[in-house]
Amino acid sequence: MNVQFKKGVLELCVLVLISEKDQYGYELAQNISKRIDVAEGTLYPLLRRLTKENYFTTYLSESTEGPSRKYYSLTEAGREYMESLIEEWKQFSSGVNELIEEAEKNE
């Protein structure tokens, strides 16, 4: 898929996944790349930016094995932002789908 296009949608995916449950970077990367082919490294700058904009808060949690994990949690502002993005996405994707369907019908 087109890289620029994917970057925009990635933000929405990250918000949605973290709204379900708090996650740490690696876990999030695995959950996203299960569905979408994405360069996982780009997630970290994105997470940092969304945290800076107060959409996420972070906390450290010790784990039984390996290093302590930095968890991301959605804030109230983050939830509002996510909802507005979902709305935009739904309008956008249904518009595109309608266009495609019409074109296919006319063929």
Q: Assess contact for 83 and 16: CB atoms under 8 A.
A: no
Q: Does 62 bind another protein (CB under 8 A)?
A: no
Minimum distance, C-beta of residue 69 to another protein, in the bound complex (Å): 7
β-pair partners for 73: 57
Minimum distance, C-beta of residue 20 to another protein, in the bound complex (Å): 20
Give 37 or 102: the residue with its C-beta nearer to another protein.
Answer: 37
Q: Does 70 bind another protein (CB under 8 A)?
A: yes
Q: What is the distance between the alpha carbons of residues 59 and 104, in angstroms, rounded to a whole number?
A: 49
Q: Assess contact for 78 and 12: CB atoms under 8 A.
A: no
Q: Which of 1, 4, 34, 107 binds another protein (CB under 8 A)?
A: 4
Helix, strand, coil: what percent of the chain each, to 5? Answer: 70, 15, 20
Q: Does 90 bind another protein (CB under 8 A)?
A: no
Q: What is the distance between the alpha carbons of residues 42 and 3, in angstroms, rounded to a whole number?
A: 11
Q: Which of 21, 26, 57, 90 binds another protein (CB under 8 A)?
A: 26
DSSP 40: G
Positions that interact with another protein (CB under 8 A): 4-5, 7-8, 11, 24-26, 29, 33, 39-42, 44-45, 47-49, 52, 65-67, 69-70
